[in-house]
Amino acid sequence: MTRLRPLVHYRSVMCLVVAALALTGCTGGAEPPARVVRFWAMGREGEAVQGLIPEFERRHPGVRVRVQQIPWSAAHEKLLTAFVGGAMPDVFQLGTTWVPELAAIGALAALDTRLATAPSIPADDFFSGSRDANRIGDTTYGVPWYVDTRLLFYRSDLLARAGFDAPPADWRTWAAALTRIKEQAGPDRYAILLPLREWQPLVILALQRRAELLRDDGRYGNFRSPEFRAAFSFYLNFYQRGLAPSAPEGQIANLFQDFGAGFFAFYISGPWNLGELAARLPPELQDDWATAPMPAPGLVAGLSIAGGASLALSRGAREPEAAWELIEYLAEPATQIELYRRTGDLPARRSAWQDPALADNHHAQAFWTQLQHMQAPPKVPEWERIAAKITDYTEAAVRGDLDPDAALTGLDRDVDALLEKRRWLLDRNAHHQEHQRHQVEEIGTPAGAFNPTASRYDSRRGLAAFPQTATPWCPWCSWW
């Protein structure tokens, strides 16, 4: 008796095992018969873009789009992990500062041919700063989706109470306004929120000062330059004078609640918050906030970072044609306006700005001028790590663990270490080119399979000069 019963009991366990194994073969649900385009979108756009997909699917029957939403905080990591793991989506959104890195490792498809033959995407309809940010060397790797130029979001009522009826246009007025607001706010509130994890505000200030963040074609850090130092001191000042809280991001339980409550009066952020604030603040506060371009250091017009996001086509996309169609669709002015309506993201297509939705919006129009003056941070693949180092050392300086000079020295040292591989690769490439040149001069023929005009690593074109090897585990396979 006791022999038979367990047999039945464990048989059901085995059934479970078999069923589990069988289920693992499924990726969930009946597979759609059509071509599936996998699209990774980040942050707010990830949610909003779902509403844009039905129209695309209507126009392209037989194509289904699967949107996956990824938080910005994990996006860079996830893209790299997906690349290493061989599980990239077909189309994805990415920050423009990531384009050099992903292009260098061969994750992005070159888009020049497609763009040349796409009637709906004329090149000069994009802001030049965005266009430039997506080009590495002579190749374009991304299509600008929206432009993010950091703006000042501020409580106009608090600013008025401090005695300023117009948003500050230069650094000095800005500092004065913040000081006044802080005086009125008291010890428990602040004038401006500057999350220590964000590198963009500091880099914008530095770019405005015309600081060159890296020198020698991106071989070394240049953070001890006088321009960067000046921007750094100005930035540190906000914390040192108690104008900004030095708490990390996690302390703000609800950004919008705190903004509405007047916990801080200024915030440097992107256009996506236009939509968020409109949605999340109570109606009675909607007249009390406004946006303004970043104040300039002095006489020159304020510069901002050519940020924003681009759409990229994965090099290993399984449905490249359908994926490209999706990109084309999202790059249409009408779709961009629709995205703006849902999120507040500013279109990358200049023609989209003629639409009344934008032309009549005074919050948005404030940036039209600014968008003409954008600059990309250094286009090195290591940029994301360098940015993380910048925030590390800024935090150390804010907390007083390091004085500003020591912080910048440390930053330079760390960045130099990060760029060591890049220097080695550039030197190796230069060496190869020299070698090839000599061979051609002396012998008259290129050595072996090497084409002297297409070197292995070209600092202008990045490592994408050669496609990813199919079998990375055999070193000799990559020499062809």
Site for another protein in 258-297 (CB under 8 A): none
Q: Which of 37, 39, 43, 181 binds another protein (CB under 8 A)?
A: 43
Q: Which tokens is 223 given?
A: 């953070």
Nearer of residues 368 and 450 to another protein, judged by Cβ: 450
Residues 6+ apart with CB under 8 A from 31: none
# chain residues binding another protein, by CB under 8 A = 76
229 binds another protein (CB under 8 A): no
Which region among 18-26, 54-62, 123-131, 232-240 touches another protein (by CB under 8 A)?
A: 18-26
Q: Which tokens is 308 given?
A: 């924003």
Nearer of residues 39 and 174 to another protein, judged by Cβ: 39
Nearer of residues 88 and 371 to another protein, judged by Cβ: 88
User: How far apart are CB 476 and another protein at their closest, in Å?
Assistant: 9
Q: Are the C-beta atoms of residues 150 and 204 closer than 8 Å to each other?
A: yes
Q: Which tokens is 263 given?
A: 């916990």
User: How far apart are CB 157 and another protein at their closest, in Å?
Assistant: 22
Site for another protein in 315-374 (CB under 8 A): none
Going by C-alpha positions, the residue among 192, 240, 267, 201 that lies closest to residue 404 is 240
Q: Which of 35, 60, 78, 318 binds another protein (CB under 8 A)?
A: 78
User: How far apart are CB 422 and another protein at their closest, in Å?
Assistant: 8
Q: What is the pattern of x (binds another protein, CB under 8 A) and - over residues 80-119?
A: xxxxxxxx-------------x--xxx-------------
2 binds another protein (CB under 8 A): yes
Q: Scanning the structure block, which residue is given the tokens 């500057």? A: 194
Residues 6+ apart with CB under 8 A from 141: 99, 102, 103, 108, 109, 110, 111, 134, 135, 310, 312, 464
Nearer of residues 126 and 259 to another protein, judged by Cβ: 259
Nearer of residues 11 and 172 to another protein, judged by Cβ: 11
User: How far apart are CB 361 and another protein at their closest, in Å?
Assistant: 25
User: How far apart are CB 193 and another protein at their closest, in Å?
Assistant: 13
What's 101's DSSP letter?
A: H
- End-to-end CA separation in angstroms for the chain: 70
Q: Which of 48, 70, 185, 207 binds another protein (CB under 8 A)?
A: 70
User: How far apart are CB 105 and another protein at their closest, in Å?
Assistant: 4
User: How far apart are CB 310 and another protein at their closest, in Å?
Assistant: 20
> What's the rounded Cα separation, in Å, for the pair 244 and 251?
13
User: How far apart are CB 397 and another protein at their closest, in Å?
Assistant: 11
> What's the rounded Cα separation, in Å, for the pair 116 and 130?
17
Q: Which of 32, 54, 62, 71 binds another protein (CB under 8 A)?
A: 71
Q: Which of 55, 59, 74, 403 binds another protein (CB under 8 A)?
A: 74
Q: Which H, E and C letters describe the chain, residue by residue?
A: CCCHHHHHHHHHHHHHHHHHHHHHCCCCCCCCCCEEEEEEEEHHHHHHHHHCHHHHHHHCCCEEEEEEEECHHHHHHHHHHHHHHCCCCCEEEEEHHHHHHHHHCCCECCCHHHHHCCCCCCHHHECHHHHHHCEECCEECCEEEEEECCEEEEEHHHHHHCCCCCCCCEHHHHHHHHHHHHHHHCCCCCCEECCCCCCHHHHHHHHHCCCCCEECCCCEECCCCHHHHHHHHHHHHHHHCCCCCCCCHHHCCCHHHHHHCCCCCEEEECCHHHHHHHHHCCHHHCCCEEEECCCECCCCCCCEECEEEEEEEECCCCCHHHHHHHHHHHCCHHHHHHHHHHHCCEECEHHHHHCHHHHCCHHHHCCHHHHCCEECCCCCCCHHHHHHHHHHHHHHHHHCCCCHHHHHHHHHHHHHHHCHHHHHHHHHHHHHHHHHHHHHHHCCCCCCCCCCCCCCCECCCEHHHCCCCCCCCCHHHHCC
Nearer of residues 347 and 381 to another protein, judged by Cβ: 381
User: How far apart are CB 394 and another protein at their closest, in Å?
Assistant: 11
User: How far apart are CB 195 and another protein at their closest, in Å?
Assistant: 11
Nearer of residues 12 and 445 to another protein, judged by Cβ: 12
Site for another protein in 372-431 (CB under 8 A): 381, 385, 392, 395-396, 399, 401, 421, 424-425
Which region among 62-70, 177-185, 296-304, 341-349 touches another protein (by CB under 8 A)?
A: 62-70
Nearer of residues 246 and 439 to another protein, judged by Cβ: 246
User: How far apart are CB 91 and another protein at their closest, in Å?
Assistant: 14
Nearer of residues 184 and 469 to another protein, judged by Cβ: 469
User: How far apart are CB 10 and another protein at their closest, in Å?
Assistant: 6
Site for another protein in 186-205 (CB under 8 A): 196
Site for another protein in 429-468 (CB under 8 A): 456-457, 463, 466, 468
Which region among 55-63, 76-84, 232-240, 336-344 touches another protein (by CB under 8 A)?
A: 76-84
User: How far apart are CB 249 and another protein at their closest, in Å?
Assistant: 8
Q: Which of 247, 301, 334, 406 binds another protein (CB under 8 A)?
A: 247
